[in-house]
Structure 1
């Protein structure tokens, strides 16, 4: 039986702090709100501090290349080149939610 993945369910259980700690292991994440996300994973970045992540909402923004998104699902879609449903499935699988 296939599990019906709901975006709200995934976003509720995959907390932005834990998600970005896993996806950006070298980023100096220390506080709530906007944090230095380290080097941008979307381009050949050499300027630490240009990529920011919001640990409350999961939003991200690179001030060098302009890549931005509103939550951990959007990040997974952009980073792995996935469609929405595939990103939900990847997150559910990666985080043991199914």
Structure 2
């Protein structure tokens, strides 16, 4: 039997670690205020600024493609090409959270 995932718990923990996570996931990025601006690693991106993540909320957007998301689990799913459940489980393991 699969255990139920607590997405809110995983997202809250990920938000606390988000600056460190973003430095790993998007190492070419730069923090400006409460936003992390980076090149999108999933496309041939040449301009920092079109892809950004709000560090306080986890909301993210690629303004060049229109791709957006509302939390850190969704961002991880997008960057790793995973479904939401798989992304939540991987992120929980990465953060040391028991799902």
Q: TM-score range by the shorter chain?
A: 0.7 to 0.9
Would you say 1:97 and 2:88 are equivalent positions? no
For 2:36 and 2:96, the matched residues in 1 are separated by 27
For 1:77 and 1:38, the matched residues in 2 are separated by 17
Show the counterpart of 1:74: 74
Show the counterpart of 2:24: 22
Higher helix share: 2
For 1:7 and 1:23, the matched residues in 2 are separated by 20
What is the TM-score when the length of structure 1 is the normalising length? 0.83
For 2:51 and 2:85, the matched residues in 1 are separated by 26
How many residue pairs end up in the alignment? 96
What is the TM-score when the length of structure 2 is the normalising length? 0.82
For 2:78 and 2:8, the matched residues in 1 are separated by 19
Q: Deviations over 1:30-67 (max 9, x none)?
A: 422xx242111231101121111101110111111222
Q: CA RMSD in A?
A: 2.0
What is the DSSP-based 3-state SS (H/G/I as helix, E as strand, rest coil) of the residue aligned with 1:26? coil
Which runs of at least 4 in structure 1 moved beyond 3 Å after TM superposition? 1-4
For 2:50 and 2:32, the matched residues in 1 are separated by 17
Q: Which runs of 5+ in 2 are unaligned?
A: none
